[in-house]
Amino acid sequence: MKWANDIKTGIGKRVLASKLKKSNRHVQVCNLENARNIGVIYNATEYISFEIIKDLVRQLSDKSITISVLGYVDSKRIIDHYLYRKGFDFFSKNDLNWYYQPVSEVARQFMQEPFDLLLNLSLEEHFPIYYITSLSHASFKAGRYFPVDESLDFMIDIEKENQTMKSVQQEILIEANSMAENQEMEDAINKKTETELQLKFLISQLIHYLSILNK
């Protein structure tokens, strides 16, 4: 029930706010050239997101950067294909307490790692991801702009580019949906295309600005 979820999330936010008051994190601007240890957190519920993040890791690994990836699956089950992926850790709804605080060991270790740079690549607001990002010991945190998100030091507002992305998405969907067999398949194609376009755009913008930041 939504009202119960809202109450639990509200309690989780108050617990988080209390912990943040005790935090003494020092923000230090870091660009991609100087970063040697990068953390990536994202919504791994859709498999297409994993494929895009995997390409990003491959791209950054060529720069002699150590990368740790944590994916949140908004479900109680982590798909088998995610298991035993080197450099990739995952947590799910089963790894949250009753007010949605991540309590798994991989989440705890990720928060405590002093990354030079943390990239939050979630396209939607998920409290477990927000919780980890907020309490992360990373020196510099970047990701998508949300009006009430205070966890990041550098943000990209992809809403400003929504019209352009929607035009591209529409062209892709016209062809893809013509081959869809039913409404359920068409909806899945729509969701996958939207996620792919937005996530790739967010990553490209972050890579661009974090490459020239503080130069």
pLDDT value of residue 193: 77
Q: Give a yes or no: residue 32 inside a domain.
A: yes
Q: Give a yes or no: residue 144 inside a domain.
A: yes
What are the tokens at 98?
Answer: 């009753």
- pLDDT > 90 fraction of the chain, expressed in percent and rounded: 60
Q: Give a yes or no: residue 133 inside a domain.
A: yes
Q: Give a yes or no: residue 189 inside a domain.
A: no
Q: Give a yes or no: residue 63 inside a domain.
A: yes
Q: What is the mean pLDDT of the chain?
A: 86
What tens digit of pLDDT does each residue of 184-193 get?
Answer: 554 444 567 7
Q: Give a yes or no: residue 70 inside a domain.
A: yes
Q: Give a yes or no: residue 180 inside a domain.
A: no
What tens digit of pLDDT does each residue of 52-109 get?
Answer: 999 999 988 877 789 999 999 999 888 887 877 788 999 999 999 999 999 999 999 9
Q: Give a yes or no: residue 84 inside a domain.
A: yes
pLDDT at 173 over 70: no
More confident residue, 133 or 5: 133
Is residue 161 very low, low, confident or very high in pLDDT (cuts 50, 70, 90)?
A: low
In this structure, are residues 136 and 52 in contact, taking their beta carbons and an 8 Å threshold? no
CATH number of the CATH domain containing 68: 3.40.50
- Domain range spanning residue 74? 2-156
| Domain count of the fold of the chain | 1
